[in-house]
Amino acid sequence: MSKLFTLIRREIWEHPAFYVAPLVVTAIMVLALAADTLVFGQNILRPTNFVQFLQMVPDAARQDVYGILMIMPAFIPYAIVLVFVIFFYLMDCLYAERKDRSILFWKSLPVSDTETVFSKIATAMFTIPLVTLVVYLVSTFGFFVVLTFIVWAGGGNPWTLLWSAFPVFEVAGLITYSLLVQSFWFLPFIGWVALASAFARRMPFLWVVLVPVGVVIVETFLFGTREFIGMIGARIEGVFKLSYTDEDLHFDFDDMEELQFENTGSILDVIDPTPLLTSTGFWGGLVVGGGLIAAAIWLRRYRDDS
Amino acid sequence: MDTLIEAKGLSKNYGSSTALDNVSFSVDEGRIVGLIGPNGAGKTTALKAILGLSPFRGDLKVLGYDPYRQRSKLMEEVCFIADVAILPRWLKVSQAIEFVERVHPKFNPARAQEFLSKTEIQPNKKVKQLSKGMVAQLHLALVMAIDVRLLILDEPTLGLDILFRKNFYQTLLEDYFDENRTIIITTHQVEEIEHILTHLMFIQKGRLVLDQSMENIAEEYVEVLVSPDQTQAAQALGPIHERSVFGKQLMLFRGVSRANLETLGETHTPSVADLFVATMEGR
């Protein structure tokens, strides 16, 4: 286990983008807010306006409003960047070491190919999302600290208006849950990109993209059907339908306004993995993903082109 | 004395070309073996088979392991440097030490630090910030701090200047080698390692054409600078190679008694380089 942590740390050393990318998101959001207020003269963050705005929210709904309308949506840009970081990381993870021949150094150490590939898959599934989540939570906390001063300046009580309704554990819990189920649900994609990375002699990106495109074209040409693209589409949207009690709460912005004012209780109530865990798509995905990862391990071990 | 490597009928093809053709040899503990051959002769293929990096046909045991199936286990007791360029460019010196310490049970970080303190390498530098010579020093420092029985060096000093090369082999011999360790080296700069070798192997077109101890070589091979009037007598003894130097014939004999040859002219033990040329051209 400690070996696995060492291997994962190695991945973080090699890829500072794991934390630099979400930090850039934070920087851009801070700059955007500052520009909005200072340059374009938006008034929402001016102290008196801001306190008035916060006082409009009913106390009972305050936690849900903050959580669902302010804090959770702020994760969306981080999530988008996260997808790109994971994608480019996976594409590189078994390719770069062959390109610069450092694979011979890694292979000169008592670490098996299975351990190495597992550490890279674990990095994509858990490490990168976790680092993103931590940067996001720290940024959110910092943002609340700034808001505290604004509320003070506007004559409000920062405790009742802000901190008493800061659902940090609920938000962290819901995002952790979402990232976790998605990592498992998307294992076929993760395995495919890792396999392309282990396979490509050059330009793994082309393999990642062109092989599925080729399958779609061949299928359309031969059978006139669109099963494969349909499967990919179902895979992309499936997890969002299967892992929450009410998909709309999380994703439909219009309905969200109604829902949050009902003040139904904890944000965490939307978590419900039962439909996911009882779906064939989930377990089938694990099997397919596992097969692709096994193929990547096999290639790293048996390929002799260094 | 233990036999570390036992190879029987080792063969390997790349497509239609034969890289190793039914090679058999063994390497005992405490040897420093030079594996010498022209480009494409099969040296690297042989080393890769020993290190479990590529599949092969035939029988091969390294420290009792099947290298191809038990590579990660084998790597606890074997180290190799394949080429100076293979340390990843993004790795910091301190990270390299920390990583090896955590994955290698036989690594002694203090020893690596000690080697590095004798160089100009700084721990916070990345590999890409080091000169080629420093990268080789770093790799050597890592490897020498690992207490393994078998060390394999494939062109370890390629592209380094002569000062680094001398220093590299000197450090290896003085600070690392002892009777419990075994080293296999391939290089094109034969002259520089010949004095540290205990055994010599020549490989040509996938076949092992010479496999002897340096002592045996000194006994068996004699080079004679033949006096002009003795040329015919010398040729009658069947030299394996001859060439002319300043108008005299320089002949290489194998298995002819030295006393016999001394009557023909000036005798001495051939250098590995001369022996190599003679062996390669003689067939």
DSSP state, residue B147: -
Whether residue A107 lies within 8 A of chain B, CB to CB, comes out as yes
Whether residue A1 lies within 8 A of chain B, CB to CB, comes out as no
Give the integer Cα–Cα distance in Å for A37 and A86.
33
Query: Predicted confidence band at A264 (pLDDT cuts at 50, 70, 90)?
Result: low
Place of tokens 């011979």: A104
Give the integer Cα–Cα distance in Å for A146 and A151.
9
Q: What are phi and psi of B59, to 5 degrees?
A: -105, 130
Interface predicted TM-score (ipTM): 0.85
Per-residue pLDDT reduced to its tens digit, A157-196: 899 888 988 888 888 999 999 999 999 999 999 999 999 9
- In the predicted structure, residue B283 carries a pLDDT above the cut 70: no
Q: What angle do CA A171, A174, A176 make, to 5 degrees?
A: 105
Residues in A closer than 8 angstroms to B72, CB to CB, are 110-113, 115
Q: Which of A10-24, A244-258, B61-75 has the highest mean pLDDT?
A: A10-24
Strands of chain B, DSSP E: 3-14, 17-28, 32-36, 57-62, 78-81, 150-154, 182-186, 199-204, 207-213, 221-226, 241-245, 248-254, 265-268
Q: What pLDDT was estimated at residue A126? A: 97
Per-residue pLDDT reduced to its tens digit, B46-100: 888 999 888 889 999 999 999 988 888 898 899 888 765 589 999 999 999 999 9
Give chain A's radius of gyration (CA, Å).
Answer: 23
Residues in A closer than 8 angstroms to B55, CB to CB, are 302, 304
Across the strands, what pairs with B10?
B23
Average pLDDT, integer, range A8-36? 94
Give the integer Cα–Cα distance in Å for A209 and B82.
34
Amino acid (1-letter code) at residue A257: E
The CA distance from A103 to the nearest CA of chain B, in Å, is 8
The CA distance from A14 to the nearest CA of chain B, in Å, is 6
Q: Residue A143: is it exposed, middle or buried by C-beta count within 10 angstroms (0-12/13-18/19+)?
A: middle
Average pLDDT, integer, range A256-265? 50
CA A292 to the chain's CA centroid: 21
Q: Which of A6, A13, A105 sits opposite B86 (nearest CB)?
A: A105
Q: In chain A, which residue ranges form alpha helices assigned H by DSSP?
A: 2-14, 17-34, 47-56, 59-64, 75-93, 96-99, 103-107, 113-122, 128-153, 158-161, 168-185, 187-199, 204-223, 227-242, 247-251, 253-262, 274-277, 280-302
